[in-house]
Amino acid sequence: MMALWAIDKNPREGDFQENEAGRLVPQADEVAMTGTALTNYTLPHLLDLCAPSAYVLMLGDTVPLSPVLFEYGIDALAGTRVREGQPAFPDPA
């Protein structure tokens, strides 16, 4: 049986509070986290909680697409790369 757990600092209905990470993350075969875990300083703790065999993915528009993250146990990065600035950042005028 597969289970999906969403853990968040500001959980919505059905999500788990961040203090549940220590119980849930070590059980996970696959762990996906946003790049916000890097900016809010929770990334080292979350990576420590991951089982050695877990597949770890960082995803979302806040993910820095840097291969240095692979050295810390992240298996895949799925971020955003802007190739054409004009459509991504239209002129506010």
30-62 confidence digits (pLDDT tens): 999 999 999 999 999 999 999 999 999 999 888
Q: Do 21 and 37 contact (CB within 8 A), yes or no?
A: no
Rg (CA), the chain: 15
> Given pLDDT bands bounded at 50, 70 and 90, which one contains residue 93?
low
| Strands of the 55-59 sheet, one edge to the other | 30-34, 55-59, 76-78
User: Is 93 contained in some domain?
Assistant: no
- CATH code for the domain in which residue 76 is found: 3.40.50.11590
User: Is 11 contained in some domain?
Assistant: no
Q: Per-residue pLDDT for 85 more than 80?
A: no
pTM for the model stands at 0.81
32 three-class SS: strand
Smallest CA-to-CA distance from 31 within 75, 80, 1, 87 is with 75
User: Is 72 contained in some domain?
Assistant: yes
pLDDT over 70 for what percent of the chain?
Answer: 92
> Given pLDDT bands bounded at 50, 70 and 90, which one contains residue 88?
low
d(CA 50, CA 65): 21
